[in-house]
């Protein structure tokens, strides 16, 4: 049973194309995230959704548009891909609201999607 | 703003020995949580251990323990009896309570641990 799944695992595409990455969690969590891991392995938050509502939107180009059709899914659509978008993108989820131990809420990560822009 | 610093880009340890991975943090939030994640070469992120800012005792999870020194703002990970499978990248992360931080995790740069046989 995969807790947080992402598709595809690998994505190779040309500059200028539009692509999407899908994420699903079956943990019943109410909050989902997108993180980007660059070539130096640095991880940084991009977006966070709580119950389908956007709550964190970091300084990310507006070519990146997250969409949450329901609280179990958070997809990432990227328009006009650039070379600098090449990275590993991780989806994560956690339970935030009505949680007795807010600070300890572990974020569960998906396996990552390695995006390569040629 | 929150900041996590891991000053050891790479660490080496002999199998069966203990190793300490350093992590210091900076935050103005009175309440926060500190996490360690492991990322093996296969790429997945694996949660290891958590320490809350108000926890009186250091966290332990099997061979992992967290040396939490609040006054020094450090949260070092100690791995006892290292195994070859411990070779991986280790990330320290923090979540704070400020309105601007929300529920995000702020990560350090990571430490690449290599366990030698």
A39-76, pLDDT tens digit by residue? 999 999 999 888 888 888 887 899 999 999 998 999 99
Give B15→chain A minimum CA distance, Å.
25
A43–B91: do the CB atoms touch at under 8 Å?
yes
DSSP letter at B63? Answer: T
A window 35-54, beta carbon within 8 A of B: 35, 40-45, 48, 50
B16-47, pLDDT tens digit by residue? 999 999 999 998 888 889 999 999 999 999 99
Tokens 């340890």 -> residue: B13
Helix-, strand-, coil-residue percentages of chain A, each rounded to 5: 5, 55, 40
DSSP letter at B62? Answer: T
B13-23, pLDDT tens digit by residue? 999 999 999 99
């Amino acid at each position: 049973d995969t807790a947080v799944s992402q598709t595809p695992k690998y994505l190779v595409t040309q500059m200028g194309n539009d692509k999407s990455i899908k994420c699903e969690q079956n943990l019943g969590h109410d909050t989902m995230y997108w993180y980007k891991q660059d070539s130096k392995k640095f991880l940084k938050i991009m977006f966070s959704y709580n119950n389908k509502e956007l709550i964190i939107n970091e300084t990310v180009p507006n070519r990146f548009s997250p969409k949450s059709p329901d609280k179990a899914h958070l997809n990432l659509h990227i328009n006009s891909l650039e070379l600098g978008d090449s990275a590993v993108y991780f989806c994560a989820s956690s339970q935030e609201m009505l949680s007795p131990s807010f600070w300890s809420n572990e974020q569960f990560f998906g396996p990552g999607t390695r995006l390569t822009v040629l | 703003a929150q900041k996590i610093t891991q000053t050891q880009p790479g660490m080496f340890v002999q199998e069966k020995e203990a190793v300490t991975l350093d992590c210091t943090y900076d935050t103005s939030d009175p309440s926060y949580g500190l996490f360690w994640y492991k990322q093996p070469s296969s790429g997945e992120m694996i949660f290891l251990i958590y320490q809350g800012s108000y926890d009186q005792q250091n966290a332990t999870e099997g061979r992992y323990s967290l040396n939490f020194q609040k006054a020094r703002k450090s949260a070092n990970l100690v791995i006892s009896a290292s195994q070859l499978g411990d070779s991986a990248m280790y990330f320290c992360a923090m979540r704070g309570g400020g309105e601007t931080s929300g529920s995000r995790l702020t990560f350090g740069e990571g430490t690449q641990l290599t366990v030698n046989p």
